[in-house]
């Protein structure tokens, strides 16, 4: 039986990502694997929530990175798994590009990600999960919340 040793959870802090996080911990526990939590910050996102917008006198890149790292650390402590690393990537590339590049550079053997189940034009244009599945050189588990 194949054994995963290096698992990457990509998260956008959504409900779907929470379900994916729980599944990633279950798998990591089964295989005593290292688990890395990764969040890609779109430096110029179109639909950024107001709570993520930097106050006037702060560098937006630094602010987004710090907020993201804090959210990853909160998720990490909530998961209660010992062998966890956290990473925030500030990117002007697509999230899928950064996730698959990180996986390749760090010899990840399983990427776990949430699936939003978009319909209509969003489904036609594709999603981050779909792009990761097509680009990744390792196994990808897409978890949909119920």
The total number of residues written for the chain in this structure:
146
Residue 89 confidence (pLDDT) above 50: yes
Query: Could you tell me if residue 51 is inside a domain?
Result: yes
Range of the domain at 100: 6-143
Check whether 24 has a pLDDT greater than 80: yes
Per-residue pLDDT of 54-80, as tens digits, reads 566 677 777 778 888 888 888 888 887
In angstroms, the Cα distances linking 100 to 36, 60, 86 are 13, 25, 16
In a domain, 1, yes or no: no
Q: How many domains does the chain have?
A: 1
Instruction: Please state the pTM of the whole predicted model.
Output: 0.80
At residue 121, the pLDDT reads: 46
Q: What is the pLDDT of residue 99?
A: 94
Please report, for residues 28, 71, 119, the alpha-carbon distance to residue 108 in angstroms, rounded to integers and kept in the order given: 12, 22, 30
Dmax of the chain from CA atoms? 54
Residue 91 domain-assigned (yes or no) = yes
Residue 31 belongs to some domain of the structure: yes
pLDDT (tens digit per residue) in 29-60: 999 999 999 988 766 555 455 455 556 667 77
**CATH number of 26's domain:** 3.40.50.620
């Amino acid at each position: 039986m194949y054994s995963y040793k290096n698992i990457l959870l990509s998260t956008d802090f959504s409900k779907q990502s929470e379900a994916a996080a729980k599944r990633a911990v279950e798998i990591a526990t089964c295989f005593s694997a290292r688990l890395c939590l990764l969040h890609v910050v779109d430096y110029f996102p179109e639909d950024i929530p107001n709570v993520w917008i930097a106050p006037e006198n702060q560098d937006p890149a630094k602010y987004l990175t710090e907020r993201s790292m804090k959210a990853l650390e909160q998720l990490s402590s909530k998961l209660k798994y010992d062998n966890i690393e956290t990473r925030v990537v500030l990117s002007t590339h697509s999230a899928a590009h950064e996730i698959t590049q990180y996986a390749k550079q760090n010899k990840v053997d399983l990427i776990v990600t949430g699936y939003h189940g978009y319909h209509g034009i969003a489904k036609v244009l594709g999603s981050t999960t779909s792009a990761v599945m097509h680009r990744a050189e390792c196994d990808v588990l897409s978890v949909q919340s119920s």
